[in-house]
Amino acid sequence: MDTCLSCKGHVEEKRVTHLQAYHDQWYIVENLPALVCRQCGERFFTAQVYDVLHRLVVGGAEPVRIVEVPVLDASQTEES
């Protein structure tokens, strides 16, 4: 694929960080190969990359580190 399906811009291969939910838990997967649009930033993953993602998350791969993430509640603001 050379052309973005969203905006028709040019896509290039990059390594990205991807956030994935699975069974009420979030996983951060770093260095995941993706095709990224230079124009709009849309990311596309091949079937092989989805297989890797599945093996990592569902297969219970050992994390390289664990990070703590703040959780914010938008209902506590005046605009909500």
Distance CA 42, CA 8 (A): 11
For the chain, list the domains and their CATH numbers: 11-66 (3.10.20)
Mean per-residue pLDDT for 44-60? 96
Find out whether 15 and 32 touch, Cβ atoms under 8 Å. Answer: yes
pTM of the model: 0.82
Q: Is the pLDDT of residue 8 over 80?
A: yes
Where residue 2 falls among pLDDT bands split at 50, 70, 90?
very high
Amino acid identity, position 58 = V
Residue 77: the pLDDT is 84
* pLDDT at residue 76 in the model: 85
pLDDT in tens, 21-51: 999 999 999 999 999 999 999 999 999 999 9
Which residue in the block uniquely carries the two structure tokens 């849309």? 42
